[in-house]
Structures are given as C-alpha cells and as structure tokens.
Amino acid sequence: MERLQKYLANAGVASRRKAEEIIAEGRVKVNGAVVTEQGTKVDPETDVVLLDGKPVGARQGQRYLLLYKPPGCVTTMSDPQGRPTAASYLTGVKERVFPVGRLDYDAEGAVLFTTDGELANRLAHPRYGHRRVYLVKVKGDASAGAAPGSAAALAPRLEDSLARLREGVRLEDGPAKALSCEIHEKAEKNVWLRIEVGEGRYHLVKRLCEAVGLTVLRLFRPEFGGVSVQGLRSGHFRDLAPEELRAMRALVGLEGRGGEHDLSDIPEAREAPVKRPLPKAARRHGHGPPAPRGQEPKPRPEPLAAPSRQPPEVAARPGRPAPSGQRPGSGKPAAPGKASSSGKPTSSGRAFSSGNRPSAGKPFSPGKRPGSGKPSRLGKPPRSR
C-alpha cells in the first residue's frame, strides 16, 4: 500500500506537490469513487485509479534527463501565455517527463526532467536539504579605488555584502540566507559569485543579492543534484548515467545507509558536500535562445554574383584591346567622328582647325583676345610703372 499522491507521482502524472493539487480538485477516482483526501492509501496491484476518466498504471521504467536550459524560456511543459518552454527542447522524448523545480525565465543552466515522482519530491522539498549551487554575475566592487567621500566610496563593499548573505536577510516572504557564498571569479568590470541555497523559493537568489545591494547581471546553475552540465551546449540534453543516478538518489536518502526511509543525514546533520570544479556558462551571441533540435533555421543561400557588362570575349581577356569600331570595355560601336586637320577624330566627334579654339570651335581674329571679344594687347608698348 502507498499513498495516492506518491502513486500518481511514480506513474509519471506529475510531481508530488502537483499530484496533491490534482487530488484536491476531485479529478482522481479510486475504484469508481472520487477521492479528495490527502494520504489515501491505494494498492497498485488491485486498485483501479482513474485521472480525468483515464486509467493510471504503475510505471515500469523511469527516465532521467538533464537539460541545459537556455535563457529566454520558462521551466514548464506548456505556457498559457505562449512563451517558449524548456520542454520544447526535449525533442524525441516520448515519456511523460516533468521538470524538478524551476529556473527563472532569464536564468540558464541545469534542469532535471524525470518521471520519478519520489526523487523529484526529495530534490525539491526543503526538508531534505538539497543544496542548489548557482554562479551569479554581479557588478564589481564599486567602492574599490573610489575617491574618498564619493557616492561609490559610501557603497557597501563586496565582502560586507557576502557576509550579510551568509548571516541572512529578511525578504517579503520571510527570512532567507545563503548556505555559502564566496567569490568564484573576477572579471575586468564584474565578479562571479558562487552561492548555495537550500530551498527553491521564487527568485530567491536574485532577491537575496538585491537585499544586500548587489546588481545581478547573469544567473547560471552549473549543476543540479550533483550532476553537471559540463559538455552540454545550451538547449541540449542527455540521459543520466547509472552512476550519476545512484549518486543523486544517495544524496537525498533514497539509497545508501538506511535506504528509502533513512532521514538521519538531512538536513542539518548532513555535512557540506565536497566542492567540485564548476563549468562556465555558455557564451551568448545576442541572437536570443537557441532553436530546439530539428527546428534550426536553414542557412541563407549566398547571393549570386552580378553579371558582367563586358562581352564574353572582352571579359575573358581583360588585357586585350577592344575590336575596332567599339568603345573599350563597352561592347558598343564608337560614335562616328569627323576627321580633323590631322585626320584623327576628336573626343567630341567635332573637327577643329588651327584657327579655331579647341573648346568651342569658333574662329577668332588675331587682333582680339580669344573668347573675350576685346582687342588684343599685342603690338602695344608696355605700361609704364
């Protein structure tokens, strides 16, 4: 015998908490009777369980997937507002998996999808003390190197902010704190922090940082349940290896010293886990979230080269002069010009004689200045100075 919400979660209907909501809504029937009481026991071998009129059977095998969730999508299977969902990246997955916990719309990193309701409940419920590790990119220590008395010098130093995070602050929905907080990596203008929390409240890490005066620029979850996204590209997923699954189940007390009902090592009695190297967040290219597999946009065809205006024989032999009677490089016949005194056509096609100006072609007399109509100064004595 097992509780009804656990039976539904193990069948892959939903997580444990969501199954409790489904029962409270009166959507579940056991042996033909509607059940709304939490904790009702059912026998998977003999009882008939219906959800919305459809039978729910015990699942034989489970599926465990790790997705590198990109920013710009919600961690749900569907969204009534029509926003992109993390489930759209699970192409080819036929099992009815569901996400364990949530990751903010603009956050990125590890998200576990599974059909195992019991494991999902252990990882999501704060009672079991599962630590969530985040790498948070914040603005650098504004007070470092600032002029005395300036507004930047009066700002709280980064180390003071980290100490306040470890001590705890009061948020709108109650007190909260970071289980551990330290500088992970320093950039030229910003700082990456490593923050661990023991619960998954709404926007918890962002609100903790804002409460101590830190501006969050980027939020990245490098691992979940001890399984890292190392080697995964943004928007890609993989199945958990058997050794990763065993370690994850042991982390929440489903395997190990006392088996499924051993809670002796959670939450306060558990020692802090050994820190492992964490992968870096994927580079952003400014094009929004990546498209799911199989939906990538096709590359644009290269534009065709503009056709040459030269005739084929000229284009093929650029150093060869144009045939007689054609303008060089045009393929058009030259304009018929009149022969000049030298017998050669001019550029304008007009002939000129030695008594004409080359520009206008009008005759002029020797006693006038060319082009002015005034008498020439030739033959007159020079002016006296």
Q: Is the dihedral of CA 233, 236, 238, 243 positive or negative?
A: positive
Nearest to 259 by CA among 57, 118, 84: 118
Q: What distances in angstroms separate CA 70 from CA 73, 86, 121, 131, 197, one per listed residue?
A: 7, 8, 24, 21, 21
State yes or no: cis peptide before 80, omega within 30 of 0. no
List for the chain the helix, strand, coil content (%; round to 5): 20, 20, 60
Q: Say which residues have a Cβ less than 8 Å from residue 14's Cβ, sequence separation at least 6.
A: 8, 22, 98, 117
Clarify whether 47 is annotated catalytic: no
Rounded (5°) CA angle 103-107-112: 40
- The DSSP bridge partners found for residue 108 are 220
- The conformational region for residue 2 under phi > 0 = left, psi -120 to 50 = alpha, else beta, is beta
- The DSSP bridge partners found for residue 197 are 132
Quick count: other Cβ atoms within 10 Å of Cβ 295? 10
Number of residues written out for the chain: 385
Between CA 225 and CA 251 the distance in angstroms is: 7
Place of tokens 């590209």: 233
DSSP per-residue codes, 165-220:
HHH-EEETTEEE--SEEEEEEE-SSEEEEEEEES---TTHHHHHHHHTT--EEEEE
Active-site residue among 104, 116, 141, 265?
Answer: 104
Between CA 108 and CA 288 the distance in angstroms is: 12
Question: Do residues 149 and 160 touch, judged by C-beta distance below 8 A?
Answer: no
Q: Say which residues have a Cβ less than 8 Å from residue 160's Cβ, sequence separation at least 6.
A: none
- The conformational region for residue 86 under phi > 0 = left, psi -120 to 50 = alpha, else beta, is alpha
Q: Where do the DSSP E strands lie in 222-337?
A: 223-224, 227-228, 237-239
Residues annotated as catalytic (active site), given as ranges = 104
